[in-house]
Amino acid sequence: MNILHLSTVKTWGGGEQHIENLCLELQKLGVRSKVLLTENARFEEKLSNAGIAYAVAPLRKNVDPRYIFKIITICKNESIDLLHLHDPNAITLAIIASKLTKLPEFIFSKKTSYPIKNRQQTLYKYNSSKIAKILCVSEETKKISARRIKNQQKLVTIYHGCNVSRLQLNEMDLRKKLQLPSHIVIVGMIANHIKAKDLSTFIRIIEEIVNKQKKTNFHFVQIGEFTEHTGRFQQEISERHLENHVSFLGYVPNASGLIPQFDISLLTSNSEGLPQFLYESFYYKVPVLSTNVGGIPEIITNNENGFLSEAGDFQDLARKLVVLAEDSELRRKFAENAHQKLIHNFTSEQMARQTLEEYKKIIDGKV
């Protein structure tokens, strides 16, 4: 079985990590995978290091004939059985390519809980007859997607998994780098600086704890790709005089390897699929506090294997963060319960086996 994965994202995030994990696990199951990337994608180095086959094509302004013809060339020359599309723009490019020549059927991974926009062009591509299945990262994503998908039999939930065998510790010593004494509670977040991660709420939590509650034994470490929004976040920190209590480290290779140095993992997203950061925190037995969005409540049960708060409720998030920091037994309980839940339900091996079953149904004409 030969699968061509299409990705048009230049940054490195959870969606790209999903592709890497999936390809590696599928390889163990006898499936050949190749990923078509855009030029200058950070993802290229990751795939090269992992030994995953890939090709590169230019992509300008979201639609580029050079990327489209690369799809066609690979499909013809390498006897591709199925195209696995990993972002909305990849759907557009694959559909255009299919108008020019006969291509295998498509499968699409819906990795976010963003609603499908009610626009004619968008509805057309998501409901294309070429898309045989839409793999939703959570039941919530499936529910939201169902509002715009005519043939709801196409929708299948497959939870993304954590590739625990590839997790490696990072040699960077955060306490030493940031000159943090041992009594300081390190609250960590790994998230690129995009709107969905809601770093403004992250900053308001810090303001609530440090400036209003006068608890200065916390330091917040934020790791993730800087974007056009970063300057605004840095200005908010400066205006609230929080510079000594938060560190923006930007993109860090093998960032997940720093999670064991966090005392608590924090996520403030207002929209999510299922973030790898939470899975990785589960694996490393770091207690988690997160917003109750997307598929997150499907993996975190409040007060059982983590804390949940409503998106944007910085006061409740701050309150629960302090409770967690001051209760070592609660931290241990959350960490152990979350670890067990990950190992039993959310590994990349399970994800790949379920995905392969969907591949087989499509290729064998059983859908």
Q: Which residues are bridge partners to 248 per DSSP?
A: 222
Query: For residue 302, which of 314, 317, 285 has the smallest C-alpha distance?
Result: 317
Give the number of other Cβ atoms within 10 Å of residue 195's Cβ: 12
Same domain, 149 and 91: yes
Same domain, 150 and 171: no
Same domain, 148 and 231: no
Same domain, 31 and 135: yes
Same domain, 197 and 152: no
End-to-end CA distance of the chain: 17
Count of domains observed in the chain = 2
Same domain, 172 and 150: no
Same domain, 328 and 207: yes
Q: Which domain holds residue 22?
A: 2-161+347-363
Q: pLDDT in tens for each of the 367 residues of the chain?
A: 999 999 999 888 888 999 999 999 999 999 999 999 999 888 898 899 999 999 999 998 889 999 999 999 999 999 999 999 999 999 999 999 999 999 999 999 999 989 999 999 999 999 999 999 999 999 999 999 999 999 999 999 999 989 898 899 999 999 999 999 999 999 999 999 999 999 999 999 999 999 999 999 999 999 999 999 999 999 999 999 999 999 999 999 999 999 999 999 999 999 998 999 999 999 999 999 999 999 999 999 999 999 999 999 999 999 999 999 999 999 999 999 999 999 999 999 999 999 999 999 999 986 6
Q: What pLDDT is stored for residue 355 in this prediction?
A: 97
Give the number of other Cβ atoms within 10 Å of residue 152's Cβ: 11
Q: How far apart are CA 86 and CA 199, in angstroms?
A: 25
Q: How far apart are CA 309 and CA 122, in angstroms?
A: 32
Same domain, 32 and 101: yes
Same domain, 149 and 210: no
Same domain, 173 and 315: yes
CA dihedral 16, 148, 150, 354 (to 10 degrees): 30
Same domain, 228 and 204: yes
pTM value? 0.89
Q: What is the CATH classification number for the domain harbouring 318?
A: 3.40.50.2000
SS3 call for 114:
coil
Same domain, 143 and 253: no
Amino acid, res. 127? N
